[in-house]
Amino acid sequence: MSADLALATDRLRSAAAALAWSTPASRDALDRQRDDRLRRLVAHAATRVPFYRDRYARHGADASQVRGVTDLERLPIVGKADLQSCDERDLLADGADPARLVERRTTGSTGQRLCIRRTWLEERTLGAYRWRALASFGARRRDRFAEVEEPLDAGSGDATGLHAWLQRAGLYRQQRLDALDEPEAILAALVAGQPDVLSGYAGVVARVAREALAQGETRVRPRLVALHSDTLTTQMRAAVTEAFATRVFALYDCNECNVVAWECPETGVFHTSDDTVIVEVLRPDGSAAAPGESGEVVLTSLHSFAMPFVRYRIGDVLVQGDPHCTCGSAFATIRAVQGRMFDYFPLADGRTIHPYELVNILGERAPWVAEYRLVQERRDLVRLSYCARESPTEAQLDHLGTGLRDFLGPAVALEVEAVDAFDSEGRAKTRVCRSRVASDYDGTDDASEGSR
């Protein structure tokens, strides 16, 4: 069997396993499967992806020596800035056509945005493994799901016929609600849709929950709530639990890998998705953190071959867990996550906006921005600080400033400043969208129970 045919067969088997919501029979079986896929991925990246081919050559890294997870330290770690600094085509496997790939853009929770590309099969496989995580909380294939997040732009390569067919068959029925809508509108849509499972951005769903409590609205009663993307605080969890009278679970995810870990319903720690992603928790010296120690997260996505992520630093800090969960699962664990903390901005004109509104304008009008911070200093003042890939022209700065000021309105001043670099704040992901007026996260920077 040729290498390409073996790889294609492996990916089809993975997709079938994901759709079946299958779980590894044992830790030994999981380790064998994971190491085999890792060998295929690293060999593929080293020979067919220009970025990794060149990087490994520069570092003297021999990909053939990587036989399993214990050999990963032979390879260099890469960061988002490394990927942003090269031609986008060099990040793709030889022969991959960007026009035929599914395109997703990160939200920029580190202050750096990145375009991610996957094949249709890779996208569906990772999505199916996400459904598996929900199933561990008690989700069922015929449930009505409501997902509160930013709408996805289908874009080229993302044929959705299979999902539409499944929904017509009464399976995986999903209602997508725009996380940037007003909480009253989201709540009304939930009342109308009556979901069995509610999922979405932790901060947004918590705000909708508080709106439900304020209105005395008791008609939204999902069987479970699964929150992700923003860090889930104890106060957020309490509000959602009270408003919807159900149990709340946390997912830890990222755009590059989809689900990384999910909360164990029995123990409250997080099961790592070891058959889809390798999670390394590293000390400052690069050695592996012991259980109970915190460290920086480095991920390897085992199902991304069109645009691989091998030893990819995402900017989060985790507390390492035990290699086995006391619930008996084959998956390893992490104890806690410090990830994205996005505050709402209450403005002087009475509006309360999600900072994604500003981030989206930034992405559309300023592709020359490499990294940013948005801080609401007062109700009438927002400050944007940025590092540029290349010095912007006056016209480019005016174009960006006009878009942001038009959205903020005349009651809110905007200050824009260029900086050479941002403080990494001790390796932890910084709070890139922060309100000094009101925040769910003040005092929680070093303690989190939830998701990225």
DSSP for 9-35 reads HHHHHHHHHHHTT---S-HHHHHHHHH
Position 169 scores a pLDDT of 82
Asked which of 287, 308, 340 is the last residue of a domain, the reply is 340
User: Are 404 and 292 in a shared domain?
Assistant: no
Q: To the nearest 5 percent, what fractions of the chain are helix, strand and coil?
A: 35, 25, 40
* Structural domain that includes position 400: 345-430
In single-letter form, the type of residue at position 285 comes to: D
User: Are 23 and 128 in a shared domain?
Assistant: yes
User: Are 59 and 187 in a shared domain?
Assistant: yes
Beta bridge partners of 301: 277
Position 253 scores a pLDDT of 94
User: Are 221 and 369 in a shared domain?
Assistant: no
Reported as a pLDDT band with limits 50, 70 and 90, residue 107 is low
Position 77 scores a pLDDT of 96
Q: At 390, which CATH number?
A: 3.30.300.30
9-31 pLDDT tens trace:
666 666 666 656 677 878 999 99
203-217 pLDDT tens trace:
999 999 999 999 999
User: Is the four-CA dihedral 112, 115, 119, 125 of positive or negative sign?
Assistant: positive
Number of domains into which the chain is organized = 2
φ, ψ of residue 175 to 5 degrees: the values are: -105, 120
Residue 444 within any structural domain of the chain = no
Position 447 scores a pLDDT of 38
Residue 437 within any structural domain of the chain = no
User: Are 194 and 90 in a shared domain?
Assistant: yes
Q: Which of 18-22, 64-68, 358-362 has the lowest average pLDDT?
A: 18-22
Q: Round the average pLDDT of the chain to a whole number and report it.
A: 88
User: Are 296 and 371 in a shared domain?
Assistant: no
Among 5-9, 17-21, 338-342, the range of highest mean pLDDT: 338-342
User: Are 357 and 329 in a shared domain?
Assistant: no
Residue 361 within any structural domain of the chain = yes
Residue 452 within any structural domain of the chain = no
